Amino acid sequence: MKNKFNYILLFLLGISFMSCEKDNYEPPKSPLTGRVIYQGTPLYLQPNRVSYELFQDGFGKSGPISGTFTADGNYSQLLFNGTYKMIIREGQGPFLWGESVDNLKSEEIIHVNGATEMDIEVLPYWMIINPNISFSEGKVTGTFGLEQIIDGANAKSIESVTLYLSKTVFANSDTNVATNSIGGSDISDFSNINLSVNVPTLTPSQNYIFASIGVKIVGVEDMIFSEVQKINL
């Protein structure tokens, strides 16, 4: 009888060691999302290359939450409610941050309260206009124009334009199976550019392919892309 009582005591003691609610923090629940746009038009980028940072001041050491934009120019973070500072470092992205050249931004304050959406208005050096990618007779052809957005002192010229074919939705300079490019100085008419490339043999074979047009600007590392298109072969 005495022994049994001891076991019960031990059992009760064990229960008291169990953790209680109070120890645990609530996870962050407020999504902050948005995308990079120019006058309402979304920009397409190389995934994982253009980075941004979010800071929240007032909590000891101030390390950034770092992230990169997706191929569609989207970003998203799950955060606590509060005030954040977003920074896109100089030299990141094929654009200048701001709505006009005279009014460029170096940081942006964001108040997060519940699901928050904030688009990032930027000025790309160039824009791809009316991109049209088609397939015929084993060839993918891209027809498009280029429009210079930033002129004046900050203007930059085109280094090259490339048509990328890829087996996956990532059609860019990292992942591709075939490319064709033209140098910036060889472009005579910026409103009408044609690039075509033969579809290579795909292993394992698939009856579709993805294509995108990329523009490399002189002195800017990150390229600007057109929306990736799926083409049925």
Partner 1 sequence: MQKLYYILIAILLGFSWGCESDEEFMNKPPNQILTVEQAFSDPAQVLSILANLYSRQFSYYRLNDWATFGDFNEAFYAHTQGVTNEFHTNTTWPFGGIRNFWTTWDYTYIRELNLFLERIETSSITEDLKTRYAAEAKYLRAAYYLELAQFYGGVPIILESQSYDFSGDPSYLQIPRSTEAEIYDFIIEEAESLKTILPADATSKSRATKGAALAMKARAAIYAASLAKYNNSITPSVSLSGGEVGIPTGRAEEYYNTALEASKEIIEGTAGSYSLYMKNPTNLSENFAALFYDKNANPEVIFADDYLLKYRTHYFTGANQPRFGAEEEEGGALNPSLNLVQEFELLDNTFAPIPTTDENGDPIYYESQLDIFANRDARLAGTVILPGSNFKSRPVDIWAGYQLANGTVISGNDRGDQRILPGKTIEQQVVGFDGPVEGAVQNAQMGFYLRKYVDPAPGSGQRGIQSEIWKIKYRYSEILLIAAEAAFELGQPDISANYLNMVRERAGFTIPLKGSDISLDRIVHERRVEFAFEGLYFMDLKRFRIAHRIFDGVSMTKENLLSGIGKATKRSTMPWGLWPYRIYNPGSENDGKWIYKEYLSKQVTGADNWQLGNYYSNISNEILNNNPKLVRQPLQ
| Binding footprint of partner 1 on the chain (CB under 8 A) | 49, 61-64, 89, 91-92, 173-176, 179, 219, 221
Q: Of the two residues 55 and 190, which places its CB atom closer to partner 1 in the complex?
A: 55
Nearest distance in Å: CB 14, partner 1? 37
Nearest distance in Å: CB 9, partner 1? 33
Residues with Cβ within 8 Å of 226's Cβ and at least 6 positions away in sequence, in order, are: 44, 128, 131, 133, 142, 144, 212, 213, 214
Nearest distance in Å: CB 22, partner 1? 29
Q: Of the two residues 63 and 183, which places its CB atom closer to partner 1 in the complex?
A: 63
Q: Of the two residues 29 and 154, which places its CB atom closer to partner 1 in the complex?
A: 154
Q: How far apart are CA 147 and CA 41, in angstroms?
A: 13
CB–CB of 223/163 below 8 Å? no
Q: How far apart are CA 228 and CA 85, in angstroms?
A: 31
**In the sheet where 82-87 sits, what is the strand order?**
65-68, 51-55, 82-87, 108-112
Q: Of the two residues 117 and 221, which places its CB atom closer to partner 1 in the complex?
A: 221
Chain mean position to CA 116: 18
Q: Of the two residues 92 and 226, which places its CB atom closer to partner 1 in the complex?
A: 92
Nearest distance in Å: CB 217, partner 1? 12
Q: CB atoms < 10 A from the CB of 233, how many?
A: 12
Nearest distance in Å: CB 121, partner 1? 22
